[in-house]
């Protein structure tokens, strides 16, 4: 049983991408007042919390993840007064508010970086990661940027290189400097004092780098195809994942614990040993929750999903992973896994039931409750720097970030009164608008509401133990707690199975029961009582 202090354990959080949720000032981009207007939609779903992607002051080189003032709202989104009104309205509706915090780096236009780059002796000179060139002019080491190319950029003002794990416009802060750590904690305190209920910590395992700047070794894992990012050719044991980082995370937890009923969710950006990293970061006195992206990429199937869950909870792990299938950073799962869908609607319902049956907490991404698919965009419609760099092999993240469709037949699907929006709304998205689904008991949206309510009402689904049944693929069977059975047909082909002791059905789609014999339609599933 969770307490009020542990409201986050087994919770369901709804991620809002502010640029794309609702535009209320008709400039083609979403804003905080638009979020306030649409909060009843989120509250009506029955989720516990919202997570807001960055809304801070930013030149938007990386759509807000390049922050130039961590303690203010970008005029694109509104004002601090708007933010305070959003928190108040969310709390009135029974929603907790979690906000992104991008602490590993800043914008290159941040006043701190402008001062830091001005000389080698100013007050902020050691706030970022600077180093001399090698004698022949090359960067200090072999570290690579996630967004392409070397992770070092030469700065003519200081005649030194600076380190950036993402874009060159996102210089890394130097967390070996105690002043930087104190500034980061003060920033968290600023938002905690404004009433937020927690933080989603972006790239939480990236804060601290190797002080000796040792080269990363090559990634020697066998791969089915060549890497297209140089970053993926390395095992980044020195540029991130430093053990010193955990000491700072403990300081973050101590600060958060000085406030009532708050939570920390960490993004573990790690392809090497992700489970171990997540378990490290959610150990005693560290993060309450964390996630990695195992279930947010191409691999799929009963055996794969079971292996990820069993690996996470091996050896009696009692922490709280946070599971998601979609986000602003990856293609929407109904498109990513479309090869396994009988229909997009059936697949959306089945994956909803699966996600909300997992042990741990859950994060839903805006539009997921509508069964939205990935938007196909032409190159000239892209704004994401990753997409522009790696197109067409990787068209970037814009396809999952297109605006939320509210009213199918309205201009811009009810998202905006502007003649154009920052990313286009295509007919494939508009036809799944909220107004087309909210009154239909068979819609994807209606099913999400029922499934969230079932998870909330049934302790076994929210906080019970979990063990897998030995079923042949494509069936995946899970027992939650002592009284709940969940079985999913993950493929677009029919399947059958025998179950003894199954009681009343709690939720189902595409199943036929004949005593202990159950027939599953493609993407069919059942959640039932175990009968005692």
Collect all residues with Cβ–Cβ distance below 8 Å to 439 and sequence separation of at least 6: none
Q: How many residues does the chain have?
A: 532
Strand order in the sheet with 152-155: 130-131, 160-163, 152-155
List alpha helices for 300-431, DSSP H. Answer: 302-312, 333-336, 344-355, 385-390, 427-430
Calculate helix-pair angle for 444-457, 32-45, nearest 10 degrees.
70
- Side-chain-side CA neighbours of 359 within 13 Å: the count stands at 25
User: How many helices and strands (H and E) does the chain possess?
Assistant: 14, 19
User: 108 by DSSP, 3-state: which?
Assistant: coil
Could you count the other beta carbons within 10 Å of the beta carbon of residue 219?
15
Q: How far apart are CA 91 and CA 315, in angstroms?
A: 38
**Of 111, 206, 204, 200, whose CA–CA distance to 151 is shortest?**
206
Give 422's DSSP letter.
Answer: S
Q: Is 156 exposed, middle or buried (0-12, 13-18, 19+ CB in 10 A)?
A: exposed
Q: Please identify which residue in the block is written with the tokens 């780096």.
A: 105
What φ, ψ does residue 409 adopt, rounded to 5°? -95, 0
**Of 286, 285, 292, whose CA–CA distance to 329 is shortest?**
292
Calculate helix-pair angle for 274-281, 302-312, nearest 10 degrees.
40
User: Would you state the torsion angle of the CA atoms of residues 193, 198, 204, 209, taken in this order, to the nearest 10 degrees?
Assistant: 20
| 297: its two tokens | 């990429």
| 157: its two tokens | 């003002």
For 282, left (φ over 0), alpha (ψ -120 to 50), or beta? alpha
Q: How far apart are CA 139 and CA 146, in angstroms?
A: 16
Catalytic residues: 202, 270
Q: How far apart are CA 373 and CA 517, in angstroms?
A: 34
Q: How far apart are CA 175 and CA 155, in angstroms?
A: 20
Distances in Å between the Cα of 429 and the Cα atoms of 26, 339, 406 are 20, 19, 10
């Amino acid at each position: 049983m969770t307490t009020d202090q542990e409201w986050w354990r087994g919770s369901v959080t709804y991620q809002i991408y502010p640029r794309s949720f609702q535009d209320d000032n008709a400039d083609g981009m979403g804003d905080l007042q638009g979020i306030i207007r649409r909060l009843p939609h989120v509250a009506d779903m029955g989720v516990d919390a919202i997570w807001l992607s960055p809304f801070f002051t930013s030149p938007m080189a990386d759509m807000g993840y390049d922050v130039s003032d961590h303690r203010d709202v970008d005029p694109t989104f509104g004002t601090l007064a708007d933010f305070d009104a959003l928190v108040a309205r969310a709390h009135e509706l029974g929603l907790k508010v979690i906000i992104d915090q991008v602490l590993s780096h800043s914008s290159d236009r941040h006043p701190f970086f402008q001062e830091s780059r001005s000389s080698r002796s100013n007050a902020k000179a050691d706030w970022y990661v600077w180093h001399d060139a090698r004698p022949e002019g090359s960067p200090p080491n072999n570290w690579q940027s996630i967004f392409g190319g070397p992770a070092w950029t030469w700065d003519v003002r200081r005649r030194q290189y600076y380190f950036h794990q993402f874009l060159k416009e996102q210089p890394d802060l130097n967390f070996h400097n105690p002043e930087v750590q104190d500034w980061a904690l003060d920033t968290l305190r600023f938002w905690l004092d404004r009433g937020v209920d927690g933080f989603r910590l972006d790239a939480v395992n990236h804060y601290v780098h190797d002080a000796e700047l040792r080269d990363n070794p090559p990634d020697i894992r066998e791969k089915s195809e060549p890497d297209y990012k140089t970053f993926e050719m390395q095992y980044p044991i020195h540029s991130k994942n430093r053990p010193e980082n955990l000491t700072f995370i403990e300081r973050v937890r101590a600060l958060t614990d000085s406030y009532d009923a708050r939570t920390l969710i960490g993004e573990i950006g790690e392809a090497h040993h992700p489970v171990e990293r997540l378990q490290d970061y959610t150990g005693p006195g560290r993060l309450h929750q964390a996630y990695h992206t195992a279930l947010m990429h191409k691999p799929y199937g009963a055996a794969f999903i079971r292996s990820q869950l069993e690996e996470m909870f091996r050896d009696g792990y009692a922490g709280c992973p946070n599971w998601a299938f979609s986000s602003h950073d990856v293609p929407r799962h109904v498109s990513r896994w479309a090869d396994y869908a009988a229909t997009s609607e059936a697949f959306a319902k089945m994956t909803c039931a699966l996600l909300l049956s997992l042990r741990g907490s859950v994060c839903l991404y805006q539009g997921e409750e509508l069964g939205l698919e990935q938007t196909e965009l032409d190159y000239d419609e892209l704004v994401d720097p990753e997409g522009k760099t790696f197109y067409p092999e990787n068209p970037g993240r814009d396809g999952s970030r297109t605006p939320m469709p509210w009213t199918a037949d309205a201009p811009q699907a009810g998202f905006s009164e502007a003649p154009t929006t920052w990313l286009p709304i295509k007919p494939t998205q508009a036809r799944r608008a909220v107004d087309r689904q909210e009154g239909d008991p068979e819609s994807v949206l209606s099913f999400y509401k029922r499934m969230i309510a079932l998870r909330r009402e049934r302790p076994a689904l929210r906080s019970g133990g979990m063990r897998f049944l030995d079923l042949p693929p494509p069936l995946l069977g899970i027992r939650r707690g002592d009284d709940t059975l969940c079985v999913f047909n993950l493929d677009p082909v029919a399947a059958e199975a025998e179950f003894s002791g199954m009681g009343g059905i709690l939720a189902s789609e595409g199943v036929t029961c004949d005593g202990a014999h159950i027939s599953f339609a493609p993407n069919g599933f059942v959640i039932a009582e175990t009968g005692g």
